[in-house]
Structure 1
Amino acid sequence: MTASASYWDDLRVACESIPDARDLFRTRILVTGATGMICSCVVDILLRMNREQGAGITVFVAGRSAQDAADRFRGFTEEDGLVFVPYDATSSDDVALASSVDYIIHGASNANPALYMQQPVGTMLANLLGLSRMFDLARAKSARRVLYISSSEVYGRKEGTHPYSENDYGYLDILNRRAGYPSSKRAGESLCVAYGMEYGIDSVIVRPGHIYGPSIRASDNRVSAEITRRALAGEDIILKSKGDQLRSYCYSLDCASAILTVLLRGEPAGAYNISNPHAICTIRELAEAVAKAAGVAVRYDIPAGAASGAHNLMENSSLASDKLEALGWTPAFDLERGVTRMLAVLKESSSPFSL
């Protein structure tokens, strides 16, 4: 089988969650970080709209490797609207884009927590220099809007378990060894406002929580990815902590539909949490949901001593979704459905995205 029927069905459901989706028809959209976990799903939705609805969207997939893009979007061609554009978020080279562009979605960023400390300079440059180049491109090409994919980590730490609203900032130690990631995400958001003030560039910001789904990459070492791999292999899930940290989990296709909703309907210079209110749970509860769907068990192997400095320091990173839902977006995959669909897609094909 060359395609995952389950994933194609999920793409259809995700498309239905985007209000005014037809406003994207006949537009030209540049997506950076296009082979990553989140933005690859954005590209999949757009290409499905082309193939199934005749949307006529030109999707510029920006990345460092043409081969990675060809592998990830195998089965799609320029006839489907797919165009590869060489791009490195840490480079100062101009983006070789001869044509005009209507929208820019900047998702290129180091998403591997272990690398935040191993490559702190590159992590920060991708979030600042890379974003600045996208704004310069938007100016040169008269783009309608730039969407910046930030992070829930901009909120820092606070007491209690109440979900963070968009103006609910807590403490962030800027000298912490992994602070380069949340600090540069915060600065990137300020850069969005600055380009709007000085150059009149329209932008919006999204702050995803903890995203899971079948678009995980082999290099992903986050807890949700490790849980998924073990479950797929039929192995018991091993937690290295009690898993009490509260997180806003969101299925990757729900995240992608939310991004496209904000792109179309978000207020200029506004920030929007991406969170599914039906999937706010602890790490332990996520593990238990995946284990139940896969027919395995959850076991604990908690090492003595301090935990690794690479992990997210926020005990509570749950996010309020009221502002996003007020735009007309509705999540399609609660936690149970999300983990079930994720495992189904990954089991159906060794290359579930060869559509």
Structure 2
Amino acid sequence: MNYTDLYYSDLTAVQKCIPNLSELKNSKIFITGATGLIGSCIVDFLLNLNDTTDAKNVIYIGSLSTDDAEGRFGKVLEREDIKYIEYNALKEITFDIAFDYIIHAASLASPELYVTKPVETMLCNLMGLQKLLEYCCKKGVKRILYISSSEVYGKKENNEPYKIDEYGYLDILGNRASYPSAKRASETLCASYASEYGIDVMIVRPGHIYGPTATPGDKRASSQFFRDVIGGSDIIMKSAGSQLRSYCYVVDCASAILTVMLNGKVCFPYNIANTDSNITIRELAETISRCSGKKVVFENPSDSEKKAFNMMDNSCLDSTELYNLGWKGEFDSESGISHTYQIMNCI
């Protein structure tokens, strides 16, 4: 991760987008999946918040190993306001800390893994979440936020943005059904714990998130496009790219998640999407192409690649409920894509 002045500037810029941000002051916040695309940006935001305000929060980062944490955060781990916790969603919880907030961002989130590791994909979501919800019951955690996915919606017939109560067809026995099925079941588990045990659970459904915090192993199209051009190659597209998506710069996504955590309603699903960033996959590739000076090249996908494709032609999200909380995205598609390229390329 390149900690450039532009990245820090972006993290500071979105502070104003989060209503009641001062309520986080002096909190202990645990982020699982803290080395991933979204989780690591939330960590960076909270550390920057400590640096630029009197927030005085302590951030606990959960990841599989110290090597993962050090590989992502480096010398940042030497700070006094950040603590490492070994966390594996498939193993029992061994730590005993009175967190104020938990943000559950841990998940297998690379399309090829939905096909090659479907068992782990499902269990990581369900078992990991269940263990954390039990932890909240025992330790009296103020609030837990679960990061779900727009893939819970499945495929519908019309091309209107998905509202929070619109669920289309999902082939539960399909090649990549492990991920959306696990996310659907996990949301039901959240609602069940809220109803039966009174746990304060928040749910967000991010759209297609991109940014400089993507991990090297992230195989999502947006991440691959950026890696291609940073590596000096043209962008390789394996489809016509006509699918419409709600893309969102990861820094905006982080501010939206914290907005919901502080201001949202319990067990109410909030779509995370920036209305200024609804573009097709091809438009995403062409914008990255303009930033980098590289070409967009089309190739036929392999059979294994086809199995991992998201079959939703239009996965735009209606984020009315998020905007009603007072949030607004800071970066449209042009600025978010440009900043991602500049940060990754250290410009």
TM-score by length of 2: 0.96
Which secondary structure does the structure 2 equivalent of 1:176 belong to? Answer: coil
| Aligned amino acid, residue 27 of structure 2 | T
Report the alpha carbon displacement of residue 79 of structure 1 after superposing the two structures with TM: 4.2
Alignment-derived partner of residue 14 in structure 1: 14
Alignment-derived partner of residue 5 in structure 2: 5
Report the alpha carbon displacement of residue 307 of structure 1 after superposing the two structures with TM: 6.1
Alignment-derived partner of residue 90 in structure 2: 90
> Distance between the aligned counterparts of 1:120 and 1:337, measured in 2?
35
Alignment-derived partner of residue 226 in structure 1: 224
1:322-333 superposed matches below 5 A: 322-333=320-331
Mark the CA change 1:131 to 1:304 in structure 2 (over 3 Å): closer, same or farther: closer
| Aligned amino acid, residue 158 of structure 1 | K
Mark the CA change 1:203 to 1:303 in structure 2 (over 3 Å): closer, same or farther: closer
Which secondary structure does the structure 2 equivalent of 1:320 belong to? Answer: coil
The CA RMSD measured in Å over matched residues stands at 1.6
Alignment-derived partner of residue 239 in structure 1: 237
> Distance between the aligned counterparts of 1:78 and 1:3, measured in 2?
15
Once the two structures are superposed, residues 165-194 of structure 1 have per-residue CA deviations (whole angstroms, 9 ceiling, x without a partner) of 100110111111211110110000000110
Report the alpha carbon displacement of residue 305 of structure 1 after superposing the two structures with TM: 7.8
Alignment-derived partner of residue 134 in structure 2: 136
The equivalent position to 2:124 in structure 1, one of 123, 126, 130, is 126
Residue pair 1:30, 1:61 contacting (<8 A) in 2 also? yes
Report the alpha carbon displacement of residue 228 of structure 1 after superposing the two structures with TM: 0.6
The equivalent position to 1:110 in structure 2, one of 89, 96, 108, is 108
Percent identity over paired residues: 45
> Distance between the aligned counterparts of 1:284 and 1:306, measured in 2?
21
> Distance between the aligned counterparts of 2:229 and 2:140, measured in 1?
47
> Distance between the aligned counterparts of 1:310 and 1:238, measured in 2?
16
| Aligned amino acid, residue 168 of structure 1 | E
| Aligned amino acid, residue 193 of structure 1 | A
How many residue pairs match? The answer is: 346
> Distance between the aligned counterparts of 1:183 and 1:304, measured in 2?
25
| More off after superposition, 275-284 vs 2-11 | 2-11
Alignment-derived partner of residue 262 in structure 1: 260
1:164-183 superposed matches below 5 A: 164-183=162-181
Once the two structures are superposed, residues 99-124 of structure 1 have per-residue CA deviations (whole angstroms, 9 ceiling, x without a partner) of 31111111110001101121111111
Mark the CA change 1:83 to 1:129 in structure 2 (over 3 Å): closer, same or farther: same
Residue pair 1:274, 1:319 contacting (<8 A) in 2 also? yes
Structure 1 runs not aligned, ≥5 long:
350-355
Report the alpha carbon displacement of residue 143 of structure 1 after superposing the two structures with TM: 0.8
Structure 2 runs not aligned, ≥5 long:
none
Pair 1:50 & 2:50 matched: yes
Which secondary structure does the structure 1 equivalent of 2:345 belong to? Answer: helix
Alignment-derived partner of residue 155 in structure 1: 153
> Distance between the aligned counterparts of 1:80 and 1:9, measured in 2?
22
